Amino acid sequence: MLASQAVTWCIIVVGASALNASGVTSVNSAADAARALAPLVHTFPHAGTLAEILFAIGIVDLGLLAVPVLAGSSAYAVSEVSGWAEGLNLKLENAHGFYGVIALGTLTGLLINFIGLNPVNMLIVAAVVNGAVAPPLLAMPALLARSGRVMGRYRSGWLSTSLVWLACAGLAAAAVGLLASAVRS
């Protein structure tokens, strides 16, 4: 986990540095990102074409990985809350709601692409919403884990409780900072 986060951070820093050096401060689509990265490889023969092909393969692979995961996880969540039968091991006739949510999620993603909504802006909005709801969603299980009445002798110790509340405070401070910067601008 630590290694994947370190690699992610390096990709963000290198990508932002390369884009900013090319004069790109706003990326609205994958095509914008690909065009902005093209000057980085202009000295290699056929590198531009190879970079475009590699970038396209990466975007397609990302979609093939993300769509089933997002649709499936939302189907499990909605089915659990609704009390529906769920699971990819079930046949369609035994889990109509579950497979319906998967189909609806996939079709919604497809529709978003065709009606012209900016997917980059939608990702930013989703990240902001996730950041805003994360502190209370982290606080609820923290309170339950610390409760002796709920957890009995397995309740959380002081170290794990302190670390969870520190993370919760950091998330809350980031959400308040984002709100304050949005109000100011």
Q: Is a pLDDT exceeding 70 seen at residue 178?
A: yes
Read off the pLDDT of residues 52-84 as tens digits, 9 standing for 90 and up. 777 778 888 888 888 888 899 999 999 999 999
Residue 85 pLDDT > 70, yes or no? yes
Residue % of the chain over a pLDDT of 70: 92
What mean pLDDT comes out for the span 13-39?
Answer: 74
CA distances for 61 relative to 54, 87, 99, angstroms: 10, 24, 23
Rounded Cα distance, 31 and 20, in Å: 16
The pLDDT assigned to 172 comes to 93
pTM above 0.95, yes or no: no
Tens digits of per-residue pLDDT, 121-134?
888 888 888 889 99
The full 3-state SS of 23-79, as one line of letters, equals CCCCCCCHHHHHHHHHHHHCCCCCHHHHHHHHHHHHHHHHHHHHHHHHHHHHHHHHH
pLDDT grade, residue 47 (50/70/90)?
low
